């Protein structure tokens, strides 16, 4: 199949960007979306031109590096699928495909399709952990964990930190991302001691980074490659409220 | 002749780690903060080590080539992590985990290291649970276990099919907690993101710093410290197509090798039996399907050559469940090297399935009949979905097609019992070193080793090095840094100046194809000899005809890739030389000259019971082979049998 690509090119953070047009020829339906771009890039390099810069690593949907808005949708048309696991069999020959970076004030573009997601790391650093030094842990079976709670914690912990939730949200809100971590740790007995400081710290950092507020559109869940539920956002709101108004004495 | 001293503690195997811990020189908390340790890599080993060292009070600088530590390739491990907890009361013990690992590695690893690994395995599970790692649990609230290849007990802990991700997020959280302290004089970790290590700096023969490239600005930077820890992973990407991430690379290890760190057993490369087969020329990587699938899936190939019927139309009597047939006691859970070779054999005989006949079936029909679709979906749902996304086929209805692919490298930087390389002050942990898996790694043991090294071993072994001597004051203005930075800059300019016609990827692909064909699943003298001269020739062409567009002073992915592929061109040659030198078959290394009539590996303990450490000389002189003889005091060398 042959495709026309309209790709966002931006030489650096401070430079102006624009949409450029490329032809992708002889694309096999068994190629992944990123492999299709590899082929375009190989041709560009053989002509001595700079390849399209894009973030990618594991190419099996778990590292969270890949991040493209494809025809206006974060990670493209398939549900619960990262860009790297999107295959060309879902496109038609002759189609024009628009490829853009994540768009959010808190995720500035570094080059072409690569954005700076370090804001996510700073949110995690503001409380996304359980304080336990290496060597301090009791035997793993000391604490039993209800299976439902463990499963719900795991479903939240599956977040890969890609940022599609932010890219899809009209407010560029990071609530689903924050909710996933707050819920993962808050659902486990081991995470109770810091439950309040964690939610307060992470939400404060989220606001400082310039992410928008949640207005319940649900776009985040729709594009999330791990299908993380917005019910965790409700849980985050409850935790935040409780932590804000409660006091130990 | 250089002599290798593994510095194993004296005494009985069971007592070595304890006596090491007792005998080691200690540093008081107030002294620890005077030492700066540079940790390169943030996977299970690096992330775990950086966090733990900072908890203990060291001044830690940590480097990652990713935008976030959470993207390190440990994230992709699916199946699980082994530990000798014996929660199932099925006869497991520290000694059994030790023995299984030694045997699985085909008696080519160091007893003392492996025993220590088995000893600390239980602490890892405790630590991870306390960090909030959401391991899969039973209805009673206790941890669940499953079996993995090469073991007859259930000792594998797991988080659905994303164990590596969850363990990494645990280490990442511990690391974040230390980063949040502020770093430097405030304590904790100073984190450097998007930095690629390009060289190691030694002063007076000791590792004292690194030179890195800021991958956004292109700036070359120098960092000095009292010790350097490489936790930079393995080199499977030398094959181009592997299960590793696109960015996984061997540059840090290779640069260390060129500065004097011996590189051991490069020919021990693990080919994972259950990966999705290659679909075409464009393929950029191979996707692994967790070994855990072999708990319930049955592997088979058609009995008839050139079979064209669909899997479901082939009657039971015309299927060959070859692992169950050849290895009745382990069946589908035979170790990886054995399962991989058996798949290749079936395909070589013309009984392969799928495009190009390079594939066999992994079939869940029996398991679905026995347990129901829901139970299978609960155990492996995400793997089934992943397979369907990639191939467009539904594995609930038609069996998976699988084929072996390069996955893990047991070889790596040679280290002693202290995880120190042959450069004093340079440590290597996790997959980057060669230490624990011998000639073949068992499933669910990579995560175990990464976290063992990171959380428990390295933090203990680095202390006596720092406490034991007076290190001279060295900072980034030392002439050694200027010298190395100059060499790095020269290399950058040289790559940009070639201005050839071929993309970096096209060279990488050609190198990979060459190595896979001639130094892959089965190796023989003639092909290896050819491969060595072909790799040399390809390296020559690379430096004359590679195209690296763009400049050095900006984000330049072609340049990043060029550094890595240039090093693979050298590593690939050593891989073949090591394979050629080892005139025996052991573990993942099969020399076709050394096998039984029915294709089993034939080891030669008389002549090859050693680890091969290669010592770098210079550009024009091949590395010298230095042997570390392996002495087995607690186990008897036996022919591995899984029959």
Q: How far apart are CA B631 and CA B110, in angstroms?
A: 8
Helix H segments across chain A? 33-46, 118-125, 147-157, 164-168, 175-186, 195-208, 219-223, 231-245
Q: So what's the pLDDT on residue B116?
A: 98
Name B303's Cβ contacts closer than 8 Å, sequence gap at least 6: B318, B319, B320, B351
Q: Which of B32, B284, B377, B554 is most worth mutating to test chain A (most A CB atoms within 10 A of its CB)?
A: B284
Mean pLDDT of A211-232: 97
Helix H segments across B73-187? 94-104, 111-131, 163-179
* pLDDT at B212 exceeding the cut of 90: yes
Q: How many residues does chain B have?
A: 643
Radius of gyration of chain A (CA): 20
* pLDDT at A247 exceeding the cut of 80: no
- CB count within 10 Å of CB B319 equals 18
The token pair that represents B11 in the structure block: 């005494």
In the structure, what pLDDT confidence band is assigned to residue B600 with cuts at 50, 70 and 90?
confident
In the structure, what pLDDT confidence band is assigned to residue B241 with cuts at 50, 70 and 90?
very high
Q: How far apart are CA A248 and CA A158, in angstroms?
A: 32
Q: How far apart are CA B373 and CA B381, in angstroms?
A: 10
* pLDDT at B335 exceeding the cut of 70: yes
Catalytic residue among B208, B213, B336, B603: B336
Q: So what's the pLDDT on residue A249?
A: 75
Q: So what's the pLDDT on residue B380?
A: 87
* pLDDT at B281 exceeding the cut of 90: no
| Shortest Cα–Cα distance, B158 to chain A (Å) | 11
In this predicted model, what pLDDT tens digit does every residue of B479-488 receive, in sequence order?
999 999 999 9
Q: What percent of chain B has pLDDT over 90?
A: 91
Q: Residue B457 has what DSSP assignment?
A: I
Mean pLDDT of A86-113: 97
Pairs of residues, one from chain A and one from chain B, whose beta carbons lie less than 8 Å apart = 220
Which of A28, A61, A147 has its CB closest to that of B280?
A28
The angle, 0 to 180 degrees and rounded to 10, between the axes of the packed helices B525-545 and B504-519 is 170
Q: Which of A152, A123, A238, A114 is nearest to B180 (CA)?
A: A123
Name the one residue in this structure whose structure tokens are 């047009």.
A21
For chain A, domains (ranges, CATH) are 3-111 (3.10.20.30), 118-245 (1.10.1060.10)
Distance of alpha carbon B373 from the chain centroid: 34
Q: Which of B282, B402, B299 is nearest to B353 (CA)?
A: B402
B628 vs A: CB within 8 A: no
Choose the CATH number for B479-629 among 3.40.50.300, 1.20.58.100, 3.40.50.150, 3.20.20.70.
1.20.58.100
In this predicted model, what pLDDT tens digit does every residue of B419-440 receive, in sequence order?
999 999 999 999 999 999 999 9
Q: Are A85 and B389 a contacting pair at CB < 8 A?
A: yes
The angle, 0 to 180 degrees and rounded to 10, between the axes of the packed helices B525-545 and B557-581 is 160
For B54, which residue in chain A has the nearest alpha carbon?
A133
Report the mean per-residue pLDDT for chain B: 95
Q: So what's the pLDDT on residue B473?
A: 95
Q: Taking a C-beta distance cutoff of 8 angstroms, is the pair B583, B594 a contact?
A: yes
Q: How far apart are CA B392 and CA A87, in angstroms?
A: 9
Q: How far apart are CA B420 and CA B15, in angstroms?
A: 21
In this predicted model, what pLDDT tens digit does every residue of A123-165 receive, in sequence order?
999 999 999 999 999 999 999 999 999 999 999 999 999 999 9
Q: So what's the pLDDT on residue B1?
A: 57
* pLDDT at B599 exceeding the cut of 80: no
For A51, which residue in chain B has the nearest alpha carbon?
B558
Q: B224-236: buried (b, 16+ CB within 10 Å) or exposed (e) per residue?
A: bbbbbbbbbbbbb
Q: Which of B159, B186, B1 is nearest to B74 (CA)?
A: B159
Q: Which contiguous run of DSSP H or E holds residue A99?
A: strand A96-100
Q: Residue B138: which region, alpha, beta or left (left: phi > 0; alpha: psi -120 to 50)?
A: beta
Report phi then psi at A212, rounded to 5: -80, 180
CA atoms within 13 A on the CB side of B535: 30
Domain ranges of chain B: 273-405, 479-629
In this predicted model, what pLDDT tens digit does every residue of B611-627 receive, in sequence order?
999 999 998 899 999 99
In this predicted model, what pLDDT tens digit does every residue of A9-19 receive, in sequence order?
999 999 999 99
The token pair that represents B352 in the structure block: 């392969």
A133 vs B: CB within 8 A: yes
Three-class SS of residue B269? strand
In the structure, what pLDDT confidence band is assigned to residue B449 with cuts at 50, 70 and 90?
very high
Name the one residue in this structure whose structure tokens are 């290291």.
B113
B186 vs A: CB within 8 A: no
A14 vs B: CB within 8 A: no
| Shortest Cα–Cα distance, B125 to chain A (Å) | 6
In this predicted model, what pLDDT tens digit does every residue of A159-201 receive, in sequence order?
999 999 999 999 999 999 999 999 999 999 999 999 999 999 9
In this predicted model, what pLDDT tens digit does every residue of B168-209 receive, in sequence order?
999 999 999 999 999 999 999 999 999 999 999 999 999 999
In the structure, what pLDDT confidence band is assigned to residue B251 with cuts at 50, 70 and 90?
very high
Choose the CATH number for B273-405 among 3.50.50.60, 3.90.940.20, 3.30.460.10, 3.90.700.10.
3.90.700.10
Which residues is B207 bridged to in the sheet? B202
Is ipTM strictly over 0.95?
Answer: yes
Which residues of B fall within a CB distance of 8 Å from A45? 503-504, 547, 549, 558
B385 vs A: CB within 8 A: yes
Q: How far apart are CA B191 and CA B219, in angstroms?
A: 17
In the structure, what pLDDT confidence band is assigned to residue B556 with cuts at 50, 70 and 90?
very high
A31 vs B: CB within 8 A: yes
B174 vs A: CB within 8 A: yes
Q: Taking a C-beta distance cutoff of 8 angstroms, is the pair B420, B426 a contact?
A: yes
CA atoms within 13 A on the CB side of B286: 30
Q: Which of A86, A113, A132, A201 is most worth mutating to test chain B (most B CB atoms within 10 A of its CB)?
A: A132
* pLDDT at B55 exceeding the cut of 80: yes
Name the one residue in this structure whose structure tokens are 């820890």.
B229
Q: Taking a C-beta distance cutoff of 8 angstroms, is the pair B148, B80 a contact?
A: yes
Report the mean per-residue pLDDT for chain A: 97
* pLDDT at B213 exceeding the cut of 70: yes
Q: Are A63 and B73 a contacting pair at CB < 8 A?
A: yes
Q: So what's the pLDDT on residue B149?
A: 80
* pLDDT at B292 exceeding the cut of 90: no
In chain A, what's the furthest Cα-to-Cα distance? 71
Q: How far apart are CA B622 and CA B631, in angstroms?
A: 28
* pLDDT at B364 exceeding the cut of 90: yes
């Amino acid at each position: 199949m042959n495709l026309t690509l309209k790709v966002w090119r931006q030489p650096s953070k401070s430079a102006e960007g624009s949409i450029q047009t490329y032809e992708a020829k002889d694309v096999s339906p068994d190629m992944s979306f990123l492999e299709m771009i590899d082929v375009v890039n190989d041709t560009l390099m053989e002509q001595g031109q700079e390849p399209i810069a894009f973030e990618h690593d594991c190419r099996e949907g778990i590292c969270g590096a890949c991040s493209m808005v494809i025809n206006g949708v974060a990670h493209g048309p398939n549900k619960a699928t990262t860009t790297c696991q999107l295959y060309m069999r879902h496109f038609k020959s002759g189609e024009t495909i628009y490829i853009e970076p994540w768009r959010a004030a808190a995720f500035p573009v570094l080059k072409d399709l690569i954005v700076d997601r370090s804001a996510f790391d700073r949110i995690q650093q503001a409380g996304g952990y359980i304080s336990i030094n290496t060597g301090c842990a009791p035997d793993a079976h000391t604490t039993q964990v209800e299976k439902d709670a463990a499963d719900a914690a795991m479903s939240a912990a599956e977040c890969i930190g890609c940022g599609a939730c932010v890219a899809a949200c009209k407010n560029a809100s990071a609530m689903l991302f924050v909710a996933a971590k707050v819920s993962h740790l808050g659902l486990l007995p081991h995470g109770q001691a810091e439950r309040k400081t964690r939610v307060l710290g992470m939400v404060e950092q989220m606001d400082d980074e310039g992410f928008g507020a949640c207005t319940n559109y649900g776009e985040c869940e729709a594009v999330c490659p791990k299908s993380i539920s917005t019910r965790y956002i409700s849980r985050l709101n409850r935790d935040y409220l409780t932590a804000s108004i409660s006091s130990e004495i | 002749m250089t002599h290798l001293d593994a510095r194993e503690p004296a005494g009985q195997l069971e007592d070595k780690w304890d006596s090491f811990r007792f005998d080691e020189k200690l540093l008081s908390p107030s002294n620890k903060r005077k030492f700066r340790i540079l940790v390169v890599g943030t996977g299970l080993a690096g992330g775990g080590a950086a966090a733990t060292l900072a908890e203990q009070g060291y001044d830690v600088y940590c480097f990652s080539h990713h935008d976030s530590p959470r993207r390190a390739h440990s994230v992709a491990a699916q199946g699980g992590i082994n530990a000798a907890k014996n929660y199932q009361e099925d006869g497991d013990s520290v000694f059994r985990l030790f023995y299984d690992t030694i045997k699985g590695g085909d008696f080519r690893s160091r007893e003392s290291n492996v025993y220590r690994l088995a000893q600390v395995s239980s602490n890892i599970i405790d630590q991870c649970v306390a960090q909030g790692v959401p391991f899969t649990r039973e209805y009673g609230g206790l941890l669940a276990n499953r079996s993995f290849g090469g073991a007859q007990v259930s000792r594998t802990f797991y988080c659905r099919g994303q164990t590596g991700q969850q363990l990494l997020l645990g280490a990442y959280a511990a690391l974040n907690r230390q980063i949040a302290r502020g770093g430097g004089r405030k304590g904790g970790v100073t984190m450097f993101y998007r930095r690629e290590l390009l060289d190691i700096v030694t002063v007076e023969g000791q590792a004292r710093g690194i030179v890195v490239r800021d991958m956004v600005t292109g700036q070359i930077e120098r960092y000095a410290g009292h010790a350097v820890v490489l936790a930079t992973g393995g080199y499977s990407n030398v094959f181009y197509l592997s299960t590793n991430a696109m960015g996984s690379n061997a540059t840090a290890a290779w640069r260390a090798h060129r500065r004097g760190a011996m590189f051991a057993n490069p020919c021990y490369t693990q080919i994972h039996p259950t990966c999705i087969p290659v679909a075409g020329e464009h393929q950029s990587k191979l996707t692994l399907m967790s070994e855990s699938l072999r708990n319930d899936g049955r592997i088979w190939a058609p009995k008839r050559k050139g079979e064209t019927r669909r899997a479901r139309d082939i009657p039971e009597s015309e299927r060959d469940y070859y692992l169950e047939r050849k290895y009745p006691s382990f069946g589908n859970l035979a170790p990886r090297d054995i399962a991989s070779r058996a798949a290749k054999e079936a395909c070589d005989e013309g009984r392969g399935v799928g495009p190009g006949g390079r594939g066999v079936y992994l079939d869940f029909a029996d398991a679905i009949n026995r347990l129901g679709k829901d139970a299978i979906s609960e155990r492996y749902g995400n793997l089934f979905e992943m397979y369907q996304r990639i191939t467009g086929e539904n594995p609930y209805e038609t069996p998976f097609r699988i084929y072996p692919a390069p996955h893990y490298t047991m070889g790596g930087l040679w280290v002693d019992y202290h995880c120190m390389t042959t450069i004093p002050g340079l440590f290597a942990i996790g997959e980057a070193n060669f230490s624990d898996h011998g000639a073949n790694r068992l499933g669910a043991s990579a995560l175990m080793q990464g976290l063992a090294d990171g959380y428990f071993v390295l933090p203990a072994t680095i202390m006596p090095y720092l406490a034991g001597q007076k290190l001279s004051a060295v900072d980034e203005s030392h002439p050694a840094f200027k010298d190395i930075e100059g060499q790095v800059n020269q290399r950058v300019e040289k790559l940009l100046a070639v201005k050839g016609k071929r993309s970096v990827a096209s060279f990488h692909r050609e190198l990979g194809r060459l190595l896979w064909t001639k130094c892959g699943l089965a190796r023989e003298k003639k092909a290896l000899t050819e491969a060595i001269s072909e790799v040399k020739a390809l390296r020559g062409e690379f430096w004359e005809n590679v195209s690296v567009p763009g400049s050095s002073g900006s984000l330049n992915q072609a340049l990043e890739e060029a550094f890595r592929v240039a090093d693979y061109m050298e590593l690939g040659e050593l891989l073949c030389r090591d394979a050629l030198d080892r005139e025996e078959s052991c573990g993942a290394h099969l020399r076709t000259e050394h096998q039984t009539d029915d294709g089993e590996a034939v080891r030669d303990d008389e002549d090859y019971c050693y680890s091969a450490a290669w010592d770098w000389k210079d550009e024009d002189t091949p590395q010298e082979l230095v042997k570390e003889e392996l002495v087995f005091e607690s186990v008897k060398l036996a022919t591995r049998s899984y029959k």
